[in-house]
């Protein structure tokens, strides 16, 4: 890259501040050297963001930096992990200093909120593409998996669903609250850690509730009953829907069931744990709603509040479908 790759790393990708004690070598050496705390397990994940696929092309650079890290922190949250370190690979069409400045601000803003240190990475020229890896810890034996749900467990979700999908659907831009939800998803780190002591299985919702709950169910060959009228919707979702005019109810239902990018947690929990779990999440605070029940019979069966069955029109986002 013409304007010195090393200059770019020094200016935009060298973490501010003294850094974490468990980073023995970080950005600037040939590789990072990291000390995993005793009695902990290391949790590692990686996600790539491609312009036009994972975010609209006109997305603000600060939002791209934020979201690239946020989606990884969401995966750590879904394992019940506490985040610690991250690595970052950026492929850029050119060395636009303004872009880099804003990207870096978005990335480090979120990193510092969770005491996550950038410990290395790579930089190359090409079509815009961001890959982030995140690393966290769980006390040995306490991680949550997709596997582990039992028939009779409640199916719960944090926060609200469909906001990011509605922002995309309405083509919202800039400062619209729903667009913020798409650009700056909140990784549910504190909830993920708190749920270690209650949940039997957990996953984060990146591709839509139906698609991601299905992954969780497949892990044990189970099924679920889902009450579609109880799926949590935010105040912003409801008012944007009102503004969009009448007749949007089935769109709203399908977005809450199937739209991606919300990065909420979906987890299962024995009924007996419900009250304690709700108190714990309320103290964070993190909203939580019980939306269904695990059943023996594979598949997801959706019901309306009048008891009728409901067939969603789509299931969720997939990069490769059968016709590809």
Min. distance of Cβ 111 from ligand ADP in angstroms? 11
Rg (CA), the chain: 20
* Candidate residues 30, 279, 306, 324; the one interacting with Mg ion per rule CB under 5 A: 30
Cα four-point dihedral sign 202, 289, 172, 244: positive
Determine the Cα–Cα distance for residues 121 and 107; give it in Å rounded to an integer.
Answer: 13
Q: Which two tokens stand for residue 57?
A: 């092309």
Which 123-142 residues touch ligand ADP, going by CB under 6 A?
123
Query: Can you read off the two tokens belonging to residue 166?
Result: 């509605």
Nearer to Mg ion, 30 or 249 (CB): 30
Residue 241 C-alpha from the chain's centroid: 24
- Alpha helix segments (H runs only) across 122-258: 163-170, 177-183, 189-195, 209-218, 235-243, 249-258
> What's the sign of the alpha-carbon dihedral 30, 35, 41, 42?
negative
CB of 305 to ligand ADP, least distance (A): 50
Is residue 315 classed as helix, strand or coil in its secondary structure? coil
Nearer to ligand ADP by Cβ, of 92 and 189: the residue is 92
At its nearest, how many Å lie between ligand ADP and the CB of residue 11? 11
At closest approach, how far in Å is the CB of 227 from Mg ion? 54
Contact 315, 212 (CB under 8 A): no
Residue 48 CB, shortest distance to ligand ADP, in Å, is 14
252 binds, among ligand ADP, Mg ion, none (CB under 5 to 8 A by kind): none
Contact by Cβ (8 Å): 41, 52:
no
93 or 299: whose CB is closer to ligand ADP?
Answer: 93
Question: What mask of x and - would describe binding to ligand ADP in positions 105 to 124, judged by CB under 6 A?
Answer: -------------x-xxxx-
Q: 271 is in the binding site of which of Mg ion, ligand ADP, none (Cβ under 5 to 8 A by kind)?
A: none
Q: How far apart, in whole angstroms, are the C-alpha atoms of residue 134 and residue 116? A: 9
Among 28, 52, 93, 152, binds ligand ADP (CB under 6 A): 28
- DSSP assignment letter at 37: P
- What's the closest the beta carbon of residue 30 comes to Mg ion, in angstroms? 4
Q: Does 28 bind Mg ion (CB under 5 A)?
A: no
Yes or no: say if 126 and 93 are a contact pair by the CB < 8 Å rule.
yes
Q: With CB cut-offs between 5 and 8 Å by kind, which of Mg ion, ligand ADP, none does residue 13 bind?
A: ligand ADP
Binding part of the chain for Mg ion, among 4-12, 29-37, 107-115, 195-203 by CB under 5 A, reads 29-37
Residues forming contacts to ligand ADP in the complex (CB under 6 A) are 9, 13, 27-30, 88, 90, 118, 120-123
């Amino acid at each position: 890259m013409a304007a010195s790759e090393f200059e770019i790393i020094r200016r935009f990708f060298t973490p501010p501040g003294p850094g974490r004690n468990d980073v023995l070598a970080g950005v600037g050496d040939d590789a990072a050297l990291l000390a995993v705390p005793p009695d902990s397990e290391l949790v590692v994940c990686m996600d790539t963001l491609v312009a036009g696929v994972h975010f609209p092309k006109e997305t603000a650079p600060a939002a791209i930096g934020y979201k690239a890290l946020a989606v990884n922190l969401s995966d750590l949250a879904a394992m019940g992990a506490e985040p610690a370190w991250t690595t970052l690979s950026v492929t850029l069409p050119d060395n636009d200093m303004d872009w880099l400045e804003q990207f870096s601000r978005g990335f480090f803003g979120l990193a510092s909120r969770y005491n996550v240190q950038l410990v290395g990475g790579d930089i190359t020229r090409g079509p815009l593409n961001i890959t982030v890896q995140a690393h966290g810890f769980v006390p040995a034996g306490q991680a949550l998996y997709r596997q582990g749900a039992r028939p009779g467990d409640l199916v719960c979700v944090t926060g609200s669903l469909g906001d990011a999908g509605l922002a995309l659907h309405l083509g919202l831009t800039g400062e619209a609250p729903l667009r913020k939800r798409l650009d700056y998803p909140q990784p549910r780190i504190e909830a993920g850690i708190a749920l270690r002591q209650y949940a039997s299985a957990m996953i984060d919702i990146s591709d839509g509730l139906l698609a991601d709950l299905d992954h969780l169910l497949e892990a044990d060959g189970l099924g679920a009953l889902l009450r579609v009228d109880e799926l949590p919707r935010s105040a912003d979702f409801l008012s944007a829907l009102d503004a969009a005019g009448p007749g949007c109810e089935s769109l709203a239902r399908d977005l809450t069931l199937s739209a991606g990018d919300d990065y909420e947690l979906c987890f299962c929990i024995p009924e007996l744990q419900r009250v304690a779990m709700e108190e714990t999440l309320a103290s964070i605070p993190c909203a939580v709603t019980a939306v269904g029940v695990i059943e023996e019979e594979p598949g997801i069966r959706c019901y309306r509040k009048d008891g009728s069955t409901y067939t969603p029109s789509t299931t969720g986002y997939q990069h490769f479908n059968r016709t590809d």
